[in-house]
Chains A and B, each alone.
Chain A
Amino acid sequence: MSASPLPATGPDVRPARLEPAQYAQHFADAAPRLSRTQALVEAERCLYCHDAPCATACPTGIDVPSFIRRIAEDNLRGAAKAILEANPLGGTCARVCPTEELCEQVCVRTTQQGKPVEIGRLQRYAVDAVMDRPIGTLFPRAAATGQRVAVVGAGPAGLACAVGLARRGHEVVVHDARAKGGGLNEYGLATYKMADDFAQRELDWLLGIGGITLRSGWRLTEATQLDALRAEYDAVFLAIGLAGTHTLAVAGADLKGVRDAVDFIAELRQAPDKGAIPVGRRVVVVGGGMTAVDAAVQSKLLGAETVHMVYRRGPEQMGASAAERDWAQTHGVTLHHWLAPDAVLGHEGHAVAVRFTRQALVDGRLQSTGQHETLAADQVLLAIGQQLDSGLLAGTGLALQGGRIVAEGDGRTAVPGLFAGGDCRLGGRDLTVEAVEDGKRAAAAIHAHLAAKAAAQPTA
């Protein structure tokens, strides 16, 4: 508790709103690992479909019927191998994939019984089971090639690429600006999704394959660094994500009490004591994506009395899936649609409310109706999208479009030897699983590139 109590009418943003014991409960694993009994019964629901729609729907193409059948046969090693072969970050994806919009959406059991096979939870059951043994027992490395690759960004794309290259015998150095690797897995997801330090456990397990060095605290700030990497390494993979956030260009956006939801989530993830994170009594979250949901729900879990999540368009356009929206609502978050922020209202330099303008679609375009609504807020969290710092890529020869790097599906860019993937690459829905697929495909493409290079320079 702060030393001086805030005036009853003034902004109320403070830590320790709950009893200490409540935090562990609130931030516990949202969907704990299935028991063996649960997994076997759920696995039995899988029909082992021919040309299974779930596998087709998975961006990494996991052979879902195979891994579920292996679970049913108590072959968890085989199940995990089937998953991780297609998706080395299968553990994270099992936790954070919007399965209701991917594999589970097309599960035929939904058609038949109104309820899909719980593919995500089964995937976690299998992957968690093998993480107590070294990754090398599943995926031994090929003989060393002597070739070296620099990966920039230790998020899902970078790690998937690094693992793919290490398996093929290459040496990889993964560069990352943060103190810890993992990228958004470590800094960008709600705590209850990645309970028990899962991002680091998965990272450590993956690095156990060998041949990968994590160079943390290495920040890409100018194009010359990239030139240096290209000179030093046989290939470079850019998986730098979208490190910048959009700013809210309205009056009052710089008031105290207004902060970036991404920072809020990251700070909360890193805090050993969740009670130390200040949260408003009344919180307004601006945005409609998963970041907005993670910020809104966690505000509520920190003890906020009211949390409003406000999106300028309708539910169909929201980045957050229906399941995410349900999750927010069952945790006491109030969702609002068709409201765009107009101004943050302040009192003595601190935000006290957000004024919104009601929106409507006119001829397919979002337009203000002129009506206003104001929501009282002690704290305003902005989750209005992230962006690439395209300035630092100027002069690298990379083509940029819509603020992202133009690259082939396998990561090849306009610059030979320079590959890109993950959220920083143009295309896709900014899903973790898509980033993993980018990294996986880039590893194959880089391997081919290195092989060609070695063939051209046999004495290298």
Chain B
Amino acid sequence: MADLTNHFAGIRSPNPFWLASAPPTDKAYNVHRAFEAGWGGVVWKTLGEDGPPVVNVSGPRYGALLTPDRKLLGFNNIELITDRPLAVNLAEMREVKRMWPDRALIASIMVPCTEAAWKAILPMVEDTGVDGIELNFGCPHGMSERGMGAAVGQVPEYIEMVTAWCKQYSKLPVIVKLTPNITDIRKPAAAAKRGGADAVSLINTINSIMGVDPATLTMSPATAGMGSHGGYCGPAVKPIALNMVAEIGRSPETAGIPISGIGGVGSWRDALDYLALGAGNVQVCTAAMVYGFKIVQEMADGLSNYMDEMGFKTTADFQGRALPTVTDWQFLNLNATVKAQIAQDKCIQCGRCHIACEDTSHQAITATKDGQRWFEVKEEECVGCNLCVTVCPVPECITLRPLAPGELDRRTQQPVSAQPLNWTAHPNNPMRQAAEPA
């Protein structure tokens, strides 16, 4: 039986599934319920500095991108940090940690970018007994207009400065939560590392507008007829987050820094993606907001079963295993050749592969044969692009077959070379490097 115990930046939790700092972790009532359901850790809803709490809109805070049967693909919010008094949050956090000593409890913090503000709040937070702090440099809406959240996360110098203050004034592990609303995620991650961060977590939400009400032609959702961009999350953002996680893992400057993966985790498969690309654990919000806290049980069970079947004892056995398979385009082997093939016994004859290829790709799939509907790959045209595989409604019906070295590529009329050749050495590349002497 696999052991899901998680060790992340010196913080131990019974499994790698944490609830992200977000609406579900706003108060003790929810967090108790989350721990009862089995969550390994909770990042408490972001605390602000002492004083009058922030005020949220009393209109819609959330918007969603839904499938026709209303499965949620993407999710958007304009909720601010906690709107409850600091003292109330701190008292509840202390109580929760006392009741759930085996779970990870992390305080998320967002205060103005002054040393005094951070110096003031850090001892109060540490005094609750929490296991670590997460610096919210990510929220892209509302608070960023006040110079916090993403406004800090978009300036690497600020990240480094604030992180250093936190390391100076607190002995707790410091996790820096990054915003994806930047050009190159490696820059803020490196800044966090320079500041002394113990870990980074990413991604926070992405600037987004969900749409327009077609009847009123106003932005939607709207508060009193006006809208404001929100933060986008949910299943749709996972690929963006995975790339950023891998970028940090691959960058020499940041490689090895613990990463808490966030963005679209709703199943054990999603968690596996993050862990295999180097994340140390994952944080979840949207899936819990759609299905409730019980969803963690399916994620943990699925991951555990997967690990048993693969023979992994702990997540460390496969953490980062896929990362070395991520590279730059220029290093891809241009001699490796695949061809689509259609399993005729599985084909339902919808013709989507044909029309997709015919209209938008390489005219490599037939529509008829002897006057009958018939969909078959023309290898002499097929470039192995995977579009037909993608649009086929039948799993495993269309697959990509790698050509063996020496096999004739009917498109190029050349045999497939056994020697790898990437762009850096390709004869068509005017900037190619001289090939190594044989």
Contacts and interface: CB of A to CB of B under 8 A. Distances in A.
Interface in B327-377: 348-352, 354-355, 367, 373
16 contacts: A40-B68, A41-B69, A44-B67, A47-B352, A47-B393, A48-B352, A49-B349, A49-B351, A50-B350, A50-B351, A50-B354, A50-B355, A50-B367, A53-B349, A72-B68, A108-B348
B37 interface: no
Given A47-B350, A50-B367, 16 more contacts: A41-B69, A43-B68, A44-B67, A48-B352, A49-B349, A49-B351, A49-B352, A50-B352, A50-B354, A50-B355, A51-B351, A53-B373, A108-B348, A111-B348, A111-B349, A112-B394
> Which interface residue of B348, B355, B394 has the most chain A CB atoms within 10 A?
B348
A108 B393 CA distance: 10
Contacts of B373: 51, 53
B290 to A, nearest CB: 18
Contact of A108 (B67, B68, B349): B349
A41 B352 CA distance: 20
Contacts of B67: 44
A53 B349 CA distance: 9
Interface string A47-79: 111111100000000000000000010000000
Contacts of A43: 68
A112 B393 contact: yes
A344 B292 CA distance: 69
A108 B350 CA distance: 6
Nearest to A49: B350
A377 B81 CA distance: 80
A106 to B, nearest CB: 9
Nearest to B354: A50
Nearest to A73: B68
A49 B350 CA distance: 5
Contacts of B355: 50
Interface size class of A (residues with CB under 8 A): 10 to 19
Nearest to A48: B352
Give me the 10 closest cross-chain CB pairs, A-B, nearest first.
A50-B351, A50-B355, A40-B68, A111-B348, A108-B348, A44-B68, A49-B350, A112-B348, A108-B350, A47-B350
Nearest to B394: A112
Interface residues of B, number: 14
Which of B67, B349, B394 has the most C-beta atoms of chain A within 10 angstroms of its own C-beta?
Answer: B349
Interface in A1-55: 40-41, 43-44, 47-53
Nearest to A43: B68
A109 B354 CA distance: 17
Interface string B376-393: 000000000000000001
A41 B349 contact: no
Contacts of B394: 112
A207 to B, nearest CB: 32
B68 A41 contact: yes
Contacts of A111: 348-349
Among B68, B349, B354, B373, chain A packs the most CB atoms within 10 A around the CB of B68
Contacts of A109: 348
Nearest to A52: B351
Contacts of A53: 349, 373
Contacts of B68: 40-41, 43-44, 72
Contacts of B349: 49, 53, 108, 111
A40 B354 CA distance: 26
Nearest to B351: A50
A50 B373 CA distance: 10
Contacts of B354: 50
Given A50-B367, A51-B367, A51-B373, A44 B69 contact: yes
Contacts of A48: 352
Nearest to B359: A50
Contacts of A44: 67-69
B350 A40 contact: no
Given A50-B367, A53-B373, A40 B69 contact: yes
A108 B348 CA distance: 6
A293 B330 CA distance: 70
A122 B75 CA distance: 30
Contacts of B352: 47-50
Contacts of B393: 47, 112
A50 B365 CA distance: 12
A53 B373 CA distance: 9
A112 B69 CA distance: 20
A47 to B, nearest CB: 5
A117 to B, nearest CB: 11
B388 to A, nearest CB: 12
A49 B349 CA distance: 8
Interface string B398-411: 00000000000000
A50 B367 CA distance: 9
A50 B374 CA distance: 12
A109 B350 CA distance: 9
A122 to B, nearest CB: 12
Contacts of A47: 350, 352, 393
Contacts of A51: 351, 367, 373
Contacts of A40: 68-69
A314 B300 CA distance: 58
B212 to A, nearest CB: 14
A323 B350 CA distance: 24
Contacts of B348: 108-109, 111-112
A168 to B, nearest CB: 34
B371 to A, nearest CB: 12
Among A52, A109, A111, the most chain B Cβ lie within 10 Å of the Cβ of A111
A50 B348 CA distance: 12
A382 B134 CA distance: 83
A50 B351 CA distance: 5
A53 B367 CA distance: 13
A74 to B, nearest CB: 9
Nearest to B70: A37
A274 to B, nearest CB: 38
Nearest to A72: B68
Contacts of A41: 68-69
Contacts of A72: 68
A43 B69 CA distance: 10
A179 B68 CA distance: 45
A240 to B, nearest CB: 38
Nearest to B375: A50
B71 to A, nearest CB: 10
Nearest to B358: A50
Contacts of B351: 49-52
A269 B349 CA distance: 42
A132 B349 CA distance: 38
A370 B69 CA distance: 59
Residue with the greatest number of chain B CB neighbours at <10 A, chosen from A47, A50, A51, A109 = A50
A361 to B, nearest CB: 31
A43 B373 CA distance: 24
B299 to A, nearest CB: 26
Nearest to B368: A51
Nearest to A39: B68
A92 B351 CA distance: 30
Interface string B59-71: 0000000011100
A40 B70 CA distance: 10
Interface hub of B350, B355, B394 (most chain A Cβ within 10 A)? B350
A260 to B, nearest CB: 44
A111 B375 CA distance: 15
Contacts of A50: 350-352, 354-355, 367
Interface string A115-141: 000000000000000000000000000
A322 B367 CA distance: 31
Contacts of A108: 348-350
A51 B348 CA distance: 13
A108 B349 CA distance: 7
A394 to B, nearest CB: 44
Nearest to B365: A50
Nearest to A50: B351
B362 to A, nearest CB: 16
